[in-house]
Amino acid sequence: MPAYITLFQVIITYNDVMAPANPFVYGEVVTSGAFADRDAERARLGRDLAAGQKVFLISPRRYGKSSLVRGVLRGLARQKILTVEVTVASSSSYIGFLESYARALIAADTPAGRLRRWAGELLQAVRPELRFDSDSMGTSRFAVAFPSVRTARDTARLANEVFALPGRIAAARKQRMAIALDEFQAITAFNGGSVEHALRAAVQDQRAVGYVFAGSEPSLMERMLGPRRPFYKAGPVMRLEKIDKATFAEWIEARFSKGGMRPEPGLGEAIVDLAANVPYDVQRLAHETWDDVKAGGRKAAGLDDLHLTLTRLLGEQHTVFEESWQRLTLAQRAVLRALVLENGTELLSADVRTRHRLPVASSVQSALAALVRQDIVMKEGGRYVASDSLYREWVARQTY
């Protein structure tokens, strides 16, 4: 075998390295480069957090809430503001949440060599257990546990200590802080709801700490902000809406071009419409279309490519969607199909119920409520829509 590299091999290797990557990202937190629009929301949230506001961010699932928050925190970190992000729904218990939250607060921009001392100073009243665990990759991870907490009284005392930490850390470091509690609605399941009272009492006096309480179950988040709840009028409320269709379509076509592929006229608009203008679904459909066209060795993408990609995705998801469909009751199946075909409106009317052989109006309402609880359907303005645009297309094409 020759011990040299031919010019042809060099060219091939160079082309492989320089080939543009897929410009669309989904299934993970999106970085600023692949994030569409939201300029006004990012600027407002950044200003509020830097000023120590307590902001409530309400967004349906798949609207890019977590990516928005992560991008804002990165910007604040560049301003030397300490940032902390915790997903409340990742914890299986109240104490588990307090341990996760305490660990994130203590570890915020803290050198590994100082973690034990810093944690001991901040949490000496509750006697934490501090350790470094290794994950499956051998990476060491700092952990905080409170094994001595056994009773409801112990838990309440621990919560007061942990919720007071941000104010103490900001004062000790002489730095402002910005904290994101994502999937915040999950906190209502902890300790009979008393956690809301404890957290509100702590954060209202932390002037140097900004909070964003972000939730993806709008109806539950709205109830948490009601007149009889602790967080009533605790801070400004931001409701994440859909991105302007024309702006989104233009952005999609620009990303195709940046990825080395010419979009045919109308491609961006078609992707937005087919994905119901849900940011996650838009990114998914654009990403997969780009991949398919690239795999075919072509330099232009059009509507035919989009529909071929859609057909492929529906085939790949057929088993998953069929299992989901089979788990529904007959009434729920009928209502879901009618919802898809009628664009989510007039589902209680006699005409629609007759046309789609639906049960009485009260049963339709019960079926809709069940579909919402299962995150199959969500309410959008005055109508109901399928949460997943691919599932919507599968229902329209594969059910009767």
pLDDT tens column, 352-387: 999 999 999 999 999 999 999 998 998 887 889 999
**pLDDT of 33 strictly over 90:** no
Q: What is the DSSP string of 31-74?
A: PGGG--S-HHHHHHHHHHHHTT-EEEEE--TTSSHHHHHHHHHH
Nearest C-alpha neighbor of 310 from the set 252, 271, 261, 264: 271
DSSP for residue 19 = S
pLDDT at 192: 67
Joined tokens for residue 28: 């993970």
- Please tell me the least confidently modeled range out of 120-134, 152-166, 214-228: 120-134
**pLDDT of 232 strictly over 60:** yes
What CATH topology corresponds to 38-239?
Rossmann fold (3.40.50)
Taking every pair of Cα atoms in the chain, the longest distance, rounded to a whole number of angstroms, is: 80
What is the residue extent of each domain of the chain? 38-239, 243-314, 318-398
Q: What number of other Cβ atoms are within 10 A of residue 175's Cβ?
A: 14
**pLDDT of 170 strictly over 90:** yes
Q: How confident is the model at residue 115 (pLDDT cuts 50, 70, 90)?
A: confident
Q: Mean pLDDT over residues 37-59, rounded?
A: 93
Q: Mean pLDDT over residues 261-265, rounded?
A: 96
What ranges make up the beta strands (E) of the chain?
54-58, 82-87, 129-134, 140-145, 177-182, 209-215, 237-239, 262-263, 300-301, 377-380, 383-386
pLDDT at 182: 95
Confirm if 197 and 229 have CB atoms less than 8 A apart: no
How far apart CA 43 and CA 297 sit, in angstroms, is: 40
Of 16-25, 48-57, 109-118, which one has max mean pLDDT?
48-57
Confirm if 20 and 259 have CB atoms less than 8 A apart: yes
CATH architecture for residues 243-314? Orthogonal Bundle (1.10)
Q: Mean pLDDT over residues 253-263, rounded?
A: 94
- Please tell me the least confidently modeled range out of 18-32, 61-75, 228-242, 263-277: 18-32
How far apart CA 19 and CA 203 sit, in angstroms, is: 49
Q: How confident is the model at residue 34 (pLDDT cuts 50, 70, 90)?
A: low
Reported residue count of the chain is 400
Q: What number of other Cβ atoms are within 10 A of residue 324's Cβ?
A: 17
Share of residues in the chain with pLDDT > 90 (%): 68
- Residue of higher predicted confidence among 278 and 134: 278
**pLDDT of 150 strictly over 90:** no
Out of 1.10.260.40, 3.40.50.150, 1.10.10.10, 2.40.30.10, select the CATH number for domain 318-398: 1.10.10.10
Name the residue type at position 222.
E
pLDDT digits over 290-330, tens only?
999 999 999 999 999 999 999 999 999 999 999 999 999 99
